[in-house]
Amino acid sequence: MNDENKIIVALDLNDITRAKYIVNLIKYDVIYKVGMEFFYSFGMEGISELKKIKPEIKIFLDLKLHDIPNTVSKSIEPLVLKVRPYMLTLHTSGGNIMLKEAVSKVDKICKVGNFKKPILLGVTILTSLKKEDLVSIDWGNDISKVVIKLASLAKISGLDGIVCSAKEIKDIRKNFNNLKIVAPGIRFKQDNKEDQVRVMSPEAAVKAGADFIVIGRPILNAKDPNLILRKILNSFNS
């Protein structure tokens, strides 16, 4: 995997014209995150529009699937068949059975269809949450401990990796060296954190052990997204 593939550009937009403009403008081989805002606004058709611009586009389908096992298993099938995502998220708090059945369904679909299986990722604790939020839902006040527990659940359920704040990466690497780690909440030091709480710079997150970093607003709001991406790529080797 080259350094460009470590960067996930979050297309958190409800403007399809702007999303297409960004995808067309970016010259690097990055991954594009399609989350709830984009998918609920434009659905499969929106992704098809992106694929017209870049037929080999790598889609990180971040819908954080979370429901009873049967519903998730049935819902994941059309997503995998129609989107052919490079990566896909499920909420680890859905539990072992939900996760295992989703993994089994994806394995079967890809085997029958003879196409590459997406990287399946378990979402742990959102980067917008802080200790007080965990206490309010009776999960204790140690974020790292909860993330490690959910990472363990992801591993035994057969997922390929997890999504967690860069702040927890070192603890995860000590316990699960072979899990892929996607780190959202990436900001440059001068950036406004906005609704993100547990953030880290791109180079610090990669040095800590992140396999992929998710960056949205600092790129989407930039006058020259390619300049920002070049800055990030250069920072990996600084």
Q: Any idea what the CATH number is for the domain that residue 174 is in?
A: 3.20.20.70
Domain membership of residue 212 as a residue range: 3-236
What is the structure's pLDDT at 158? 97
- Which tokens sit at 200? 């880290």
Largest CA distance in the chain: 48
Q: Tell me which H or E stretch contains 162.
A: strand 161-163
Indicate the SS3 state at residue 35.
strand
174 and 105 in contact (C-beta within 8 Å)? no
| Catalytic annotation present for 20 | no
What is the structure's pLDDT at 167? 87
Q: Which residues are CB-contacts of 170 (< 8 A; sequence separation ≥ 6)?
A: 208, 209
The candidate with the shortest Cα–Cα distance to 182, out of 146, 139, 211, is 211
What is the structure's pLDDT at 189? 65
Could you list the pLDDT tens digit for every one of the 238 residues in the chain?
688 999 999 999 999 999 999 999 999 999 999 999 999 999 999 999 999 999 999 999 999 999 999 999 999 999 999 999 999 999 999 999 999 999 999 999 999 999 999 999 999 988 788 888 888 888 877 888 999 999 999 999 999 999 998 889 999 999 898 999 999 988 776 555 454 555 788 998 999 899 999 999 889 999 999 999 999 999 888 6
Catalytic residue among 6, 64, 105, 167: 64
Say how many domains are in the chain. Answer: 1
Half-sphere exposure (CA, 13 Å, Cβ side) for 72?
Answer: 25
49 and 16 in contact (C-beta within 8 Å)? yes
